[in-house]
Amino acid sequence: MLRWRRESTLGRMQTITESTRNGVDTDRMFATLDLIKSQPELAKFQFRATNRWLGGAHNRSTVKDFYAAGGEDTTRTAAFELDAGEPAILLGADTGPNPAEYLLHALAACLTTSIVYVAAARKVPLTSVESTLTGDMDVRGALGVDPEPRNGFERITVSFRVSGDAPPEKLREVVERAKARSAVYDMVANGVPVAVEVATA
């Protein structure tokens, strides 16, 4: 089995080896898991975003730096920029998906990657993973018109269509395990303590 890598471009090389399944290098996956088991202090990560208001409902987040495995990440050479907005009916100029739509995307993305990683670890080759997410909201809450409806979605429904080289029961098990391990599913389903600090000038 030929293995050739340069540490500095590890992720981008995506060297195809016998251990690659669903686009995930499972040798590296298991090595990472073993390393974190033996040195739990390496498991402390911090992700970040900075945001700037651009007028009306238009604002932009920049995502780049993060802390991982004992140090600041140096592999990201460019920042990701994300524009948010609101459609006309919510008084914006449609400069991007709205924040609630971004939350649906975060949930879809995390469950999908969890499915792909769990399947890779369990030797299940996937051919496609698609999902549709819906979130129902009574906007009287967020608009402050009525104190009764909550501000956020009353409920979110995620519908997955998963296909791969495994029986339906096995594919369902993979989705169940992914749901039990997904970071964003945990946060959206269970909530997270959020501290908001304010400096004025």
- List the interface residues with a second copy, window 15-54 (CB under 8 A): 22-25, 28-29, 32-33, 36-37, 40, 43-53
**Minimum distance from residue 193 beta carbon to a second copy (Å):** 5
Instruction: Report, in Å, the least distance between residue 1 CB and a second copy.
Output: 18
Determine the 3-state secondary structure of 60 from DSSP: strand
Segment 76 to 115, residues that bind a second copy, using CB under 8 A? 76, 80, 82, 84, 86-94, 96-115
DSSP 140-166: TTTTTS-SSS-SS-SEEEEEEEEEESS
Quick one: 2 or 148, whose CB is closer to a second copy? 148
- C-beta closer to a second copy: residue 2 or 126: 126
The residues in 130-149 that bind a second copy, with binding defined as CB under 8 A, are 130-146, 149
Residue of 67, 171, 186 whose CA lies nearest to 129? 171
188, burial (CB in 10 Å: exposed 0-12, middle 13-18, buried 19+): buried
Does the footprint of a second copy cover residue 12 (CB under 8 A)? yes
Residue 74 CB, shortest distance to a second copy, in Å, is 10
Contacts 24+ apart (CB under 8 A), 151-157: 152/100, 153/100, 156/104, 156/107, 156/188, 157/133
Inter-CA distances, 168 with 71, 114, 143, 161, Å? 41, 18, 44, 11
Report 153-172 residues binding a second copy (CB under 8 A): 153-163, 168, 171-172
Q: Give the one residue of 2, 4, 6, 55 binding a second copy; rule: CB under 8 A.
A: 55
Nearer to a second copy (CB atom), residue 1 or residue 199: 199
- Residue 82: phi and psi, rounded to 5, are -125, 120
Task: Work out how close the CB of 189 gets to a second copy at its nearest, in angstroms, rounded to a whole number.
Answer: 5
